[in-house]
Amino acid sequence: MSGDLVNLLADLKEEEVLALLKKKLAAGEDPYKILDETSAGMAIVGKRFAAGEYFLPELVYSGEVLKQVNAILKPKLSQGNKETKKIGKVVIGTVAGDIHDIGLNIVEFMLDVNGFEVTNLGVDVPIEKFVEAVRKTKTPVLGLSGFLTPAFDAMKETVEALEKAGLRKNLKIMIGGGQMDDEVRKYAKADAYGKDAMAAVSLSKQWYGVK
């Protein structure tokens, strides 16, 4: 049964996804396990888009379904995290030239329920906007998201712009998304590569000195 939610989400079956989600929660299933299934389903959506099986309308629609799933899951995930005091600030965004926000929104959601104050700059974010946000929020953690190969250069140029602005020294930068890996991390001169949303949470906690 665990794969049902994954496949329904990958196939964009909105009504079935929401019905099964509510059924699983009513049966007492672990919301974090359900979140993992959600992430797996959205990863398939991303792969289908990259392969030309899905197009922009499907991608946008999947994002809308994800928002509904998150709205139902968030209260359940927050129950075990009663403290209201935030750990600290994290700025995230999808780099210039890239409009993918599925992974970005999952990362925002997971950082939020784990106690971070998140500034999500959205997609196709100009380099100057990242620089401005880091300067304004004084965040020590920045997450750069990208899905396709053109994002490699955009990430590198964003990091270089932060260096030129004198904001790099005390800033930890993580990258993630589609075709990102540790080689891209080295190319972009970022500090870490996060393979999924929980990795982003772990890195942020590590950089804030929180266990």
Domain that holds residue 107: 88-208
Q: Please give the tally of structural domains in the chain.
A: 2
Q: Is 177 helix (H, G, I), strand (E, B) or coil?
A: coil
Query: Is residue 39 domain-shared with residue 111, that is, in the same domain?
Result: no
Task: Show which of 78, 101, 131 is a domain's final residue.
Answer: 78
- Nearest CA to 73 out of 121, 48, 41, 47 is that of 41
Quote the tokens at residue 15: 């009504």
pTM (two decimals): 0.76
pLDDT tens track for 102-150: 788 889 988 988 889 999 999 999 999 999 999 999 999 999 999 888 8
Note whether residue 83 is domain-resident. no
Q: Quickly state the pLDDT bin for 80 (edges 50, 70, 90).
A: low
What beta strand segments (E) does the chain contain?
Answer: 88-94, 116-120, 141-145, 172-176, 192-193
Mean pLDDT of 164-171: 97
Q: Is 27 helix (H, G, I), strand (E, B) or coil?
A: coil
Task: Show which of 78, 100, 132 is a domain's final residue.
Answer: 78
Block residue for tokens 């309308």:
57
